[in-house]
Chains A and B, each alone.
Chain A
């Protein structure tokens, strides 16, 4: 991202603090490990000096709106702005408490995919940068280019909302290329037979250590006290056995249905690299197919489980 974007952002954020319009500003700062950007929770003008805008893994800052209930300025990409709309619809934040700065996103790069494409381990990647329409990768001193569709996060490959849907100020910049250029491969799990689907997911949930990073990083998971924390009675066992992991993940997904906007943070933060987005995408596809509903897009459209149509499908009901 050019420095002028960062400078423009600094001016806006500084002004917000100077005019006393916000108590916090949520932005990004430089990550301390390769290919990572860190969230920045600025409480004052001094904190803003660390502001930085970068290409990689810029996380969804809306998660901090679960904690911060005062006036806040926030930097959002297209996908993040959908989280904002979702949270507004759920009554978790108030529009007048927010000053939204829209950030154009040229597509987020996934180092794991880049490592896969260049045939090396993630740890061996030295540098990743953009050059025009290509991604430049340096491994072992050698440089090579790979096409965008081999480097971008899956969710960026069919991004329908590159431009923030809600903002008070829009920063200049490049957007991720239109959908027809980048194609996401289909989820091959959907094509499998039932026993193979089970085996696939059982293997995935075998790895889950119940760190709850997915739940905690999710802006849609805003319950002050998650049902998993309840132990009188114990609804969901804290033990990381396959069956209990199934219950936890499927339950969490159903609980955020309609509010989850497929921002992909859950999959990004999972330390065991479980493909959680596969489940979420399936659910989002079903919501769209059955109820013509897409989360976080239309502020006026009611949430899917708070409304109904007479013609809703009921072929599965006896």
Chain B
């Protein structure tokens, strides 16, 4: 099902949704693109993708799980109120939406993570098709089409007059049965497909080959040592990655009260696997090997998807330009 809407009407429609839901859209804050509450302002024109991935809206970088306070001999535990309010996120890219779908089985497995799942179920995902290829990205190699995706509730493509929307889910349908949207044809949808600037003729690598070879190259110490030599063990690639989801639990305590919080953690940190007696990934190359192998093979063994969407953030923002694309090409060789 396809719909058409002008730019002005889209703004009005989003503003109208605020009556029932929290509406979030990309904005530029302090020079960085990020998702922020929509306040009726102009929607961004020259926006490629946000710095931090939208995973932060589902798996927050800092989440209070519960708190306790001891008063007069008794202990009171405060559980945070559940997040029932509806939420609409506009402007998501196909890669980030796929990442959310990739994360879902992790948090819906043996243990249902109520924080993530509540956030997911209360949110409508409205996607925006890309018009340019982000630098460093390799989404197409990962099997993602930046202009066609089923991971959203509604997917928008920009057209000269505004947007053509493809309604994918029932929830999306309900939402667009409003007056600002007009019926559109599949033709219009197809016409709104952009010739993405800078397409590559040949894919960088073959994903299946990478998947197989990464397992094969696991015992090759010298390969991994050489390739990870310049890594500085920071958390930029993991924190900016839309599929990375490792977290740490930390208590903050003062006499008589405390909170337990969850925050992001990174497998690149030296002490990630440190235990009482031993750290199995003491050396940098072991951690890097684990990171690549986990994303491109082990995760697939468990969840039947590759834990990478090729968004390119790790490539662009790595402080020492350790390019995952180069690594994958070398692995596939």
Interface residues in chain A, defined as those with a beta carbon under 8 Å from any beta carbon in chain B: 31-34, 36-41, 43, 59, 63-64, 112, 120-121, 123-124, 203, 207, 209-213, 215-217, 229, 234, 237-241, 265, 268-269, 271-273
Closest residue of chain B to A121 (Cβ to Cβ) is B46
Interface residues in chain B, defined as those with a beta carbon under 8 Å from any beta carbon in chain A: 30-32, 46-48, 51-52, 61-62, 132, 134-136, 226, 229-230, 232-236, 239-240, 248, 250, 252, 261, 263-266, 269-271, 315-317, 319-323, 325-326
Flag if A211 contacts B235 (CB, 8 Å). Answer: yes
Q: Which residues of B contact A265 (CB under 8 A)?
A: 319
Flag if B269 contacts A212 (CB, 8 Å). Answer: yes
Flag if B250 contacts A217 (CB, 8 Å). Answer: no
Flag if B232 contacts A123 (CB, 8 Å). Answer: no
Q: B31's contact among A112, A209, A269, by CB below 8 Å, is which?
A: A112
Q: Which residues of A contact B326 (CB under 8 A)?
A: 32
Q: Which residues of B contact A271 (CB under 8 A)?
A: 51, 236, 239-240, 317
Flag if A240 contacts B234 (CB, 8 Å). Answer: no
Q: B321's contact among A33, A234, A239, A273, by CB below 8 Å, is which?
A: A33
Flag if A207 contacts B62 (CB, 8 Å). Answer: no
Q: Which residues of A contact B135 (CB under 8 A)?
A: 33-34, 123
A229–B315 CA distance with the chains assembled, in angstroms: 26
Q: Which residues of A contact B136 (CB under 8 A)?
A: 32-33
In the complex where A238-B263, A239-B62 touch, is A217 in contact with B321 (Cβ < 8 A)?
no
Looking at B132, B240, B315, B316, which has the most chain A CB atoms within 10 Å of its CB?
B316
CB distance from A273 to the nearest CB of B (A): 6
Flag if A229 contacts B30 (CB, 8 Å). Answer: no
Main secondary structure of the interface of B (DSSP, over half): loop
Flag if B134 contacts A41 (CB, 8 Å). Answer: no
A172–B31 CA distance with the chains assembled, in angstroms: 37
CB distance from A188 to the nearest CB of B (A): 15
A15–B194 CA distance with the chains assembled, in angstroms: 53
Q: Which residues of A contact B325 (CB under 8 A)?
A: 32
Flag if B252 contacts A209 (CB, 8 Å). Answer: no
Flag if B235 contacts A210 (CB, 8 Å). Answer: yes
Flag if B235 contacts A213 (CB, 8 Å). Answer: yes
Q: B51's contact among A234, A268, A272, by CB below 8 Å, is which?
A: A272
Flag if A123 contacts B230 (CB, 8 Å). Answer: no
A71–B151 CA distance with the chains assembled, in angstroms: 53
A211–B229 CA distance with the chains assembled, in angstroms: 19
Q: Which residues of A contact B250 (CB under 8 A)?
A: 234, 237-239
Q: Which residues of B contact A37 (CB under 8 A)?
A: 321
Q: A216's contact among B51, B134, B233, by CB below 8 Å, is which?
A: B233
Known: A211-B235, A272-B51. 19 other contacts (CB 8 A): A31-B321, A32-B325, A37-B321, A41-B230, A43-B226, A59-B320, A123-B48, A123-B135, A209-B61, A211-B236, A212-B234, A213-B235, A216-B234, A217-B234, A217-B320, A229-B270, A239-B252, A239-B263, A273-B31
CB distance from B268 to the nearest CB of A (A): 9
Q: Which 6 pairs from chain A and chain B are nearest by CB?
A: A269-B319, A211-B235, A38-B321, A213-B234, A216-B232, A32-B323
Q: A217's contact among B48, B52, B232, B317, by CB below 8 Å, is which?
A: B232
Flag if B239 contacts A209 (CB, 8 Å). Answer: yes
Flag if B321 contacts A36 (CB, 8 Å). Answer: yes
CB distance from A21 to the nearest CB of B (A): 20
A212–B236 CA distance with the chains assembled, in angstroms: 8
A271–B238 CA distance with the chains assembled, in angstroms: 12
Q: Which residues of A contact B252 (CB under 8 A)?
A: 237, 239
Q: Which residues of A contact B235 (CB under 8 A)?
A: 209-213
A268–B232 CA distance with the chains assembled, in angstroms: 14
Flag if B52 contacts A209 (CB, 8 Å). Answer: yes
Looking at A124, A212, A229, A268, which has the most chain B CB atoms within 10 Å of its CB?
A212
Q: A207's contact among B30, B48, B226, B315, by CB below 8 Å, is which?
A: B30
Closest residue of chain A to B31 (Cβ to Cβ) is A273
Closest residue of chain A to B274 (Cβ to Cβ) is A229
CB distance from A60 to the nearest CB of B (A): 11
In the complex where A39-B320, A212-B269, A229-B271 touch, is A273 in contact with B30 (Cβ < 8 A)?
yes
Q: List 7 A-B contacts (CB under 8 A).
A: A32-B136, A33-B315, A37-B321, A38-B322, A39-B320, A41-B229, A211-B235
Q: A213's contact among B132, B232, B261, by CB below 8 Å, is which?
A: B232
A40–B264 CA distance with the chains assembled, in angstroms: 30
CB distance from A47 to the nearest CB of B (A): 9
CB distance from B282 to the nearest CB of A (A): 12
In the complex where A210-B235, A229-B270, A239-B252 touch, is A120 in contact with B46 (Cβ < 8 A)?
yes
CB distance from A141 to the nearest CB of B (A): 11
Q: Which residues of B contact A268 (CB under 8 A)?
A: 319
CB distance from A77 to the nearest CB of B (A): 16
Flag if A32 contacts B230 (CB, 8 Å). Answer: no
In the complex where A120-B46, A229-B270 touch, is A32 in contact with B321 (Cβ < 8 A)?
yes
Q: Which residues of A contact B248 (CB under 8 A)?
A: 238
In the complex where A211-B236, A239-B263 touch, is A124 in contact with B46 (Cβ < 8 A)?
yes
Q: B234's contact among A38, A124, A211, A234, by CB below 8 Å, is which?
A: A211
